[in-house]
Amino acid sequence: MRLRSLALAMSIALAPTLSVWAGDLPTLYSPKPKVQFDALALQTAGRFTVLPLKNFNAEATGAQAIAATTVPLWSRTVSAGGTKYKYTMVGTNPFVANPGATSLINAQVIPIQFVFNSFGGYVADPTAADPTCSPAGTAQALTDASPIFNAIPGKIWGTSVGTGQYVDLFQRANFYTQTRPTGVNPNYHVTLVNQPALAAIQVPITGGDVVAGTCGNIGLLDIATWDNYIQTSLMPLLAAQNPPIAPPTSLAIFLLYNVVLFEGSTSNCCILGYHSAFNDPAYGGAFHSYVSVEFDSNKSFTGVADISAMSHEVAEWMDDPSGANPTPSWGNIGQVSGCQANLEVGDPLSGTLDQIYMSANKYTYHVQDLTFTSWFYGQHPSTGVNGWYSFLGTFLGPAAPCP
């Protein structure tokens, strides 16, 4: 059950560096966690979350997608257990025959250089060299060269799902009954177009925490504080550039380096990545989705390494961009203890990793298995490749009901 990169299908070009002036960014004040970490606690603390868009209006957002003022979106209604569920995803509808079913979506990696003023000015910078913990290159460079942005051949147990980026191949495999050679959309793709590299945006921090990890330090920030800062400080800064950077028609990926998030105390840590959206006033209230994710070279968390958190969150952005897609209740699996009822395709398989070798930079990346839509809605047979219920074959049947 392995997805292997045999060779890059596109060359990796060195992008020019753009400078973003951040002189007016306010200092981010983040409260210190209520309880101190110890190294052993970190091993099982890694998890992911979503901050859903409040009062999501699928019809209004769909109209924006038609008008091309946000990312392309499609919706579908399915039945499960006698209840109808409507979900909205990024791209075009794979169930409707469309010779031009490839969606090209600009993606902007936005490296964040955190300066922890309360801890001697400690700097966590994804564009800075770290020969001890990341000897193969910077987090920014390794991200740009990764299968998140570069195409690989996808062959799973002898079944080809085509050539594309990792999350694109997941979506093709997710709806394989439509995207296979005999399906209605064999040319279906949702492809991220990586934009020219940005210089790191420096964010000064008062508070938060810095603790020793397995390799180097780990910075900690309150998630509510950080997300508010994204929406009220970083997004307006990017919108004010000429031309604007990462508008609502693109995916903004805020790249953190060995910095994780908490909710109040260490009992609600550590969040390695999340996705969210808001109605951006800088663009007339347009639906604006984004991802915040850690590149991990610290080796303090089990089941996570380099881009695995990004593979989790970009896939969840693609299949649940608003964070509001409902499903029957499921749970007690993966990172989830108890029940939840959303289409978060990474959560049931958090920590279930595979490897992809990229010959262009001779680096072996870690990616996460991802859950097919059929798993959430109990569909028989599955629309997924090989009749499976997850990309790499971990799930061979649908979700069990969660009381």
* Burial class of residue 118, CB neighbours in 10 A (0-12, 13-18, 19+): middle
What does the pLDDT read at residue 23?
58
pLDDT score of 44 more than 60: yes
What does the pLDDT read at residue 16?
39
What does the pLDDT read at residue 22?
57
CB neighbour burial string for 155-180, b if at least 16 within 10 angstroms, e if fewer: bbeeeebbbbbbbbbbbbbbbbbbbb
With H, G, I as helix, E, B as strand and everything else as coil, classify residue 105. Answer: strand
What does the pLDDT read at residue 10?
28
DSSP state of 195: P
What does the pLDDT read at residue 24?
73
What does the pLDDT read at residue 266?
77
pLDDT score of 125 more than 60: yes
Compute the distance between CA of residue 373 and CA of residue 327 in angstroms, rounded to an integer: 9
Q: At 395, list the tokens.
A: 């799930």
Q: At 55, list the tokens.
A: 């009062």
pLDDT score of 2 more than 50: no
Read off the pLDDT band of 154 (50, 70, 90): confident
What integer is the mean pLDDT of 314-341? 97
What integer is the mean pLDDT of 247-265? 96
Which has the closest alpha carbon to 46: 400, 254, 312?
Answer: 312
Compute the distance between CA of residue 251 and CA of residue 389 in angstroms, rounded to an integer: 27
What does the pLDDT read at residue 21?
53
Neighbouring C-beta atoms of residue 14, cutoff 10 Å: 9
Which one is predicted more confidently, 314 or 21?
314
Q: Is the C-alpha dihedral spanning 15, 321, 319, 270 positive or negative? A: positive
Compute the distance between CA of residue 173 and CA of residue 151 in angstroms, rounded to an integer: 15
What does the pLDDT read at residue 4?
33
* pLDDT tens, position by position, 169-196: 999 999 999 999 999 999 999 999 999 9
CB neighbour burial string for 84-107, b if at least 16 within 10 angstroms, e if fewer: ebebbbbbbbbeeeeeebbbebeb
8 Å CB contact between 170 and 192 = no
* pLDDT tens, position by position, 67-80: 999 999 999 999 99
Using only C-alpha atoms, the chain has a radius of gyration, in whole angstroms, of 20
* pLDDT tens, position by position, 324-336: 999 999 999 999 9
pTM above 0.75, yes or no: yes
* Burial class of residue 296, CB neighbours in 10 A (0-12, 13-18, 19+): buried
